[in-house]
Every structure is written in structure tokens, then in C-alpha cells.
């Protein structure tokens, strides 16, 4: 049995965690990451709610906790005004190596088109300090127009922060024909303290072709399986796929060199009404919990979880 078969789930049968704030395209809830805190035996979920472009985009985010990974209660909320943002996107809340709690959150600065990643800290997930946030990754430091959608893996006393950035492959020119360039890629930044990330490294890039994942390459989660690592990722072919990406799987021996799985057959899992995206895999005991945005018949997205026990 392949890894894709061992991990596959039915997205339509998942448990609904949060519902969108309205009906129709652009009303989405997700942009999520999840952690498990062994000290308190608590699952911690970050998510954001989004409205259509003309109604404010990503205007609110929250942190919620759970004792079973299925039913969550909000303990912390923030609006885009509190972050001086025009839109909030992905964030990840987890306990740091020093015992404090960290929320790595990406947002677009108000009045700009610049996405960056800040870190908020607190004594627990309900006490995150919005006012005291500090910038963890600023795109200008690396000559980039934006950096966003973080998640963090703590390995051997080091913070590995994965994030989405613009693709670095330029449009390909063939005589009078210009082929579209990839839209995004994934980098990893490492840090000893989870605050200072002095460099980034490209680890996952789009193949720049017309396949279903040809121009998008955003890793959404990285977790150990067997003797290596598995990642979930979002792929896409067009600019529109920025909002309706397709889910894929990749494997790696080290968390940096990634190989896609079964790409020719199409997306790994999907909704009959559109996409399954932002799939986040969280191993816990003998299970893997997969959290994901799911497209509904009216074009809105809810937030769901499905549980898999790998064979």
C-alpha cells in the first residue's frame, strides 16, 4: 500500500470544526495550523475567518483549544485592526522550548501589499500579547515582496519555520511565446530561540508546467512517518488557484529534499464542489488528524478534521 493510500481520507465525511461567516465565494474559515501540547494534553488550533475582497478579506483570527482534537473552544481573538493589517492569513500557535507560548502569524500590513510574519508570545494560548508582537520574518530582509503562511516544526532543539514566498523561476520565453512563471514556493528558516531567523532556504518549488500542481508549491505541514518525513502541500495551475488550491503529498528523508507522490493521477484528496486546501497533518498516538478547508456547494469554505490510522 502506498503512502497516499495509507493516509487518504474522505474530506466530505470529516467533522466540521468551524463554519464560514457567510454564504458564497470568498466566505472562508481556515488558514489554520494545529499543535498538541503534551504538558497539558491539549490541542491548540489557530484559524482565521475571511470575507470576500469587497467585504474586508481576512478580518479576524482566533486560537481555540480542545482535549480531543475535534471539539474546540475559542480562548483568544484578534482583529486585523489590532495587527494594523489589511488582511490576516495563516498562523501557528505552539509552546516554545522555553515554556512560553508563541503564535507565528502572517498578515498584510495596512496600506501596503507586503505580507510578513510576526510572533506573539504569552504564558498560555489565552494570553498572547498582540501589542508586544515582533517581526520574525520581514520579506525585505531577503529581497522578497512577501513572505507568509508559516508553520513551525521543533527538531533537536531547533525551530524550523516553513513559509510561502514568490516562486523564483522567471517566465520562460520561447520566441514570441511567454510561458507563465510559478506563483509561489516554500522556504525554511531555522532558529535556536524561535525569534531570530537570519536566513531562508528554498526547499519546495513548482515544476513550472501545466499539471494540476504546476505553478504552486506551498507546504502546509511536515510530520514524521516511518523512517522519514511526509508533507502535505497545496498545488495549482493558475492565479485563480490561489483561492482554490489542490492537495498533494510529498516525502523527504531530511525535511528539505522533497519528492511529490502520485502527481499524475491528480490531487490526493478533493471536494466535489472545489478544493481541499491547507491540509495540516498532526500525528497523535496511533492516529493522524488532518485539518483542512473544504469547499461547500455555494463556494464558501468550512474547516474540518478527519482522523486516519495508517495501515
Q: What cell does 202 get?
A: 528554498
| Average pLDDT estimate for 245-258 | 96
DSSP summary character for residue 169: P
Domain map (residue ranges) of the chain: 3-306
Burial zone of 254 (CB within 10 Å; 0-12 exposed, 13-18 middle, 19+ buried): exposed
How many angstroms separate the CA atoms of 124 and 103, rounded?
Answer: 10
How many angstroms separate the CA atoms of 138 and 145, rounded?
Answer: 9
| pLDDT band at residue 7 under the 50/70/90 scheme | very high
pLDDT in tens, 30-50: 999 999 999 999 999 999 999
- Would the pTM count as exceeding 0.95? yes
How many angstroms separate the CA atoms of 244 and 247, rounded?
Answer: 10
DSSP summary character for residue 256: S
Name 165's bridge partners: 185
Region of residue 195 (phi > 0: left; psi between -120 and 50: alpha; otherwise: beta): alpha
Note the pLDDT of residue 241: 73
pLDDT in tens, 121-160: 999 999 999 999 999 999 999 999 999 999 999 999 999 9
In this structure, whether the domain defined by 3-306 belongs to CATH 2.115.10.20 is answered with yes
Cβ-based neighbours of 99, under 8 Å, separated by 6 or more: none
| pLDDT band at residue 311 under the 50/70/90 scheme | confident
Name 177's bridge partners: 174
Radius of gyration of the chain (CA): 18
Summary mean pLDDT of the chain: 95
pLDDT in tens, 60-102: 999 999 999 999 999 999 999 999 999 999 999 999 999 999 9
* Percent above pLDDT 70 for the chain: 100
From 98-102, 177-181, 280-284, the region with the lowest mean pLDDT:
177-181
Is the predicted pLDDT of residue 303 greater than 80, yes or no? yes
* Percent above pLDDT 90 for the chain: 91
Amino acid at each position: 500500500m502506498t503512502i497516499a493510500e495509507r493516509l487518504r481520507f474522505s474530506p466530505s465525511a470529516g467533522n466540521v470544526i468551524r463554519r464560514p461567516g457567510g454564504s458564497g465565494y470568498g466566505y472562508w474559515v481556515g488558514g489554520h495550523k494545529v499543535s498538541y501540547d503534551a504538558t497539558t494534553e491539549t490541542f491548540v488550533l489557530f484559524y482565521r475567518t475571511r470575507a470576500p475582497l469587497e467585504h474586508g478579506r481576512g478580518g479576524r483570527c482566533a486560537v481555540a483549544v480542545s482535549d480531543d482534537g475535534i471539539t474546540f473552544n475559542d480562548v483568544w481573538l484578534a482583529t486585523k485592526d489590532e495587527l494594523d493589517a489589511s488582511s490576516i492569513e495563516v498562523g501557528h500557535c505552539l509552546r516554545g522550548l522555553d515554556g512560553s507560548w508563541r503564535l507565528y502569524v502572517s498578515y498584510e500590513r495596512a496600506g501596503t501589499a507586503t505580507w510578513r510574519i510576526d510572533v506573539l508570545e504569552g504564558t498560555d494560548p489565552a494570553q498572547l500579547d498582540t501589542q508586544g508582537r515582533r517581526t520574525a520574518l520581514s520579506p525585505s530582509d531577503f529581497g522578497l515582496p512577501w513572505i507568509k503562511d508559516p508553520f513551525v516544526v521543533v527538531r533537536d532543539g531547533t525551530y524550523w519555520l516553513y513559509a510561502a514566498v514568490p516562486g523564483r523561476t522567471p517566465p520562460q520565453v520561447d520566441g514570441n511565446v511567454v510561458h507563465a512563471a510559478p506563483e509561489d514556493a516554500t522556504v525554511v528558516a531555522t532558529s535556536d530561540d524561535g525569534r531570530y531567523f537570519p536566513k531562508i532556504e528554498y526547499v519546495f518549488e513548482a515544476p513550472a508546467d501545466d499539471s494540476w500542481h504546476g505553478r504552486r508549491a506551498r507546504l502546509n505541514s511536515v510530520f514524521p512517518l516511518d523512517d522519514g518525513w511526509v508533507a502535505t502541500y497545496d498545488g495549482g495551475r493558475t492565479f485563480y488557484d490561489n483561492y482554490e488550491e489542490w492537495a498533494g503529498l510529498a516525502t523527504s528523508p531530511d525535511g528539505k529534499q522533497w519528492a511529490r507522490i502520485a502527481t499524475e493521477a491528480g490531487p490526493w484528496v478533493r471536494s466535489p464542489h472545489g478544493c481541499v486546501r491547507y491540509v495540516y497533518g498532526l500525528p497523535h498516538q496511533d492516529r493522524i488528524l488532518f485539518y483542512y478547508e473544504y469547499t461547500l456547494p455555494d463556494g464558501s469554505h468550512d474547516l474540518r478534521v478527519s482522523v486516519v490510522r495508517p495501515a
